[in-house]
């Protein structure tokens, strides 16, 4: 990796107003503000976000299922067949062309 890529990727880890070059290059006792900043950050894994919406309810998590997709395909088929029957097929019920 190039030094600029590493520098850019690590730039977000240390806030610029807390870790100034003079503070970081000094002795260890001058790192107090930096240590207090990072000790105040939350520890442990991130909390699980609340599941909202149709995508989260049916396609993500432990209850993931393809049932909504199958239901949508079946519903579209029924609506399409009903429209086709009403517009065209019922006229051919007892009469041929």
Q: Which residues make Cβ contacts (< 8 Å) with residue 15, sequence separation at least 6?
A: 37
Q: Which residues make Cβ contacts (< 8 Å) with residue 1, sequence separation at least 6?
A: none
Segment 7-32, tens digit of pLDDT:
777 666 666 555 555 655 656 666 77
Could you tell me the pTM of the whole model?
0.42
Phi, psi values for residue 52, rounded to 5°: -135, 155
């Amino acid at each position: 990796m190039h030094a600029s890529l590493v520098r850019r990727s690590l730039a977000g880890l240390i806030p610029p107003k807390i870790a100034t070059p003079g503070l970081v290059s000094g002795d260890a006792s001058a790192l107090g503000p930096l240590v207090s900043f990072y000790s105040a950050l939350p520890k442990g894994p991130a909390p699980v976000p609340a599941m909202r919406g149709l995508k989260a309810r049916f396609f993500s998590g432990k209850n993931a299922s393809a049932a909504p997709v199958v239901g949508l395909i079946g519903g579209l088929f029924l609506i399409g067949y009903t429209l086709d029957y009403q517009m065209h097929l019922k006229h051919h019920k007892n009469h041929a062309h």
